[in-house]
Amino acid sequence: MHCKGHQKGNTDREVGNKLADYEARQAAEQAEYDEKDQKLITDLEAKIGLSGWAVLKDNRIIIPFRLLWALTKTEHDKTHWGTEALYNSLTKQIVARNLFQTVKSVVDRCETCLKNNPKVENRVKFGSIGKGNVPAFPCRTNKAREVTKVLLREIIPRFGVPEVISSDRGPHFVSQVVQQASKFLEINWKLHTAYHPQASGQVEKMNHMIKTQLSKICQETNLRWDQALPIALLRLRTKPRTKEKLSPFEILYGRPFQTRY
């Protein structure tokens, strides 16, 4: 723990604090370069000034690596700039080994910045609906009008107009109503090859998983299947299933599903 600065006193802590401040001032006044610093000085053809600091032709100062963290933190505390801005500012004045990594480390560990800066989250850029994060909607029938209704009322408002839709050749997909709607919306509707079940492998697998979950939920809760569907989808979307042990929810939103236990 560090005591408040500039306090007078003779306790062990205050004496130690004074000694630390004195040594810091001495280090700042007397530049001491290690072997790697010396190599950098030679490579950049810097000259040692009267104060002992290595200076480049453009007047930038080479900072000893042992002082870099303290200097970077001091400069960051003045502005609380981000990594890129602070690095660009420092490179106009100094040169040092591992400067960018040090700047990034200082910024990433700043408690003030962590509390106040917006949280940056990884977001998935997707042209198709996230893998495993499949939407499903209860329908009274499997007729073409149901397909068109779901497409216009659910899929497009939520995800935008798809570039491509792939489906089997069921009558509700090949009907004139559905195909005209897709043509009007400029959707490339790709129909699977007839008598080639492998083309619908992912769909059939997901259908099986949904049906299995629906069966379990309905048996446990006595809910109707349409009432149980959101719960079934939640279970599938939050289940880790990839090599990285990530759920479809995490892949799509870049964070774990939040729960209360």
Q: What φ, ψ does residue 6 adopt, rounded to 5°? A: 60, 30
How far from each other are the two terminal CA atoms of the chain, in whole angstroms?
37
Provide the pLDDT for residue 251: 81
pLDDT at 115: 76
233, amino acid identity: L
Task: Provide the pLDDT for residue 242.
Answer: 66
Are 225 and 219 a contacting pair, CB within 8 Å?
A: no
**Hunting for tokens 């003045």 — which residue is that?**
78
pLDDT lower than 50: segments of the chain: 1-8, 10, 12-13, 15-20, 22-24, 123-127, 261
Condensed to tens digits (0 to 9), the pLDDT of residues 212-230 reads 899 988 998 999 999 999 9
In this structure, what token pair is assigned to residue 27?
């280090």
Position 20 scores a pLDDT of 45
pTM recorded for the entire structure: 0.48
Is the C-alpha dihedral spanning 20, 23, 29, 33 positive or negative? negative
In the prediction, which pLDDT does 3 show?
42
Which structural domains are found in the chain, ordered by start? 1-27 (no CATH), 31-116 (1.10.340.70), 144-253 (3.30.420.10)
